[in-house]
Amino acid sequence: MCFIDFDHQLQRIEQLTNRLKAIQEDAFQKLVTKPAPKKWSVVEVILHMTQAHMFYEPKLKRLMETLPKSQQPVSTIKPSWLTNFLVNGFRPKEGKVRFKMKTFGPFQPQLSNLTEQEVEKAFNDFYSQLEVSKTAIAACRGLDVKRKKVNSALGPLVRFNLAEAIEFMLAHDERHLFQIERVLEQVKG
């Protein structure tokens, strides 16, 4: 990744949304079944993705409210080398996740027996978070996004500007969509 392209980010969100809506049509049992005892079900992955977005949501909103306007609208920005490294490491490549990571406690989905309504709510909550990302992407065009940074979920040593935070979340979402596809292959429906 050489540049973060805001139009491309929006396209990726659309692709993600469309694929998840198709997955949501699968049988309820397939969505809540774990492929193995220590593996996550599809719904657990969705809940984890939502939790990650919710971590960034107040940070994105604060940046959108406090960043100065840019001199002229932009459609791309160059990310830092660290963001570039993290995003490229997060995305699945050639059918594999290259860097495995343990999930931190607050991002662990906590589930018991879910109803069909709760599963639907889990998907809808995630779609709502994607709308927040779309709003933030639109704001990036008119803001001086490189002016301020926020701490990442990885801690204060990794900080992102507004566009980088969205890119990191999208890479995280793409990584977990790949995981969902693998879960669906493993779960008999």
Helices (H), 36-143: 42-66, 81-90, 116-140
Q: Is the pLDDT of residue 112 over 80?
A: no
Structure tokens at 170: 């999208």
Q: What CATH number is attached to the domain comprising 77? A: 1.20.120.450
Q: Is the pLDDT of residue 125 over 80?
A: yes
- Count Cα atoms within 13 angstroms, Cβ side, for 139: 21
User: How much is the pLDDT for 154?
Assistant: 82
In this structure, the dihedral spanned by the alpha carbons of residues 161, 165, 167 and 171, taken in order and rounded to 10 degrees, is 150
Structural domain count, the chain: 1
pLDDT band at 106 (very low <50, low <70, confident <90, very high): low
Domain that holds residue 142: 4-186
Q: Is the pLDDT of residue 110 over 70?
A: no
Residues 51-74, mean pLDDT to the nearest whole number: 93
Diameter of the chain measured on Cα atoms: 55
Residues 172-187, mean pLDDT to the nearest whole number: 93
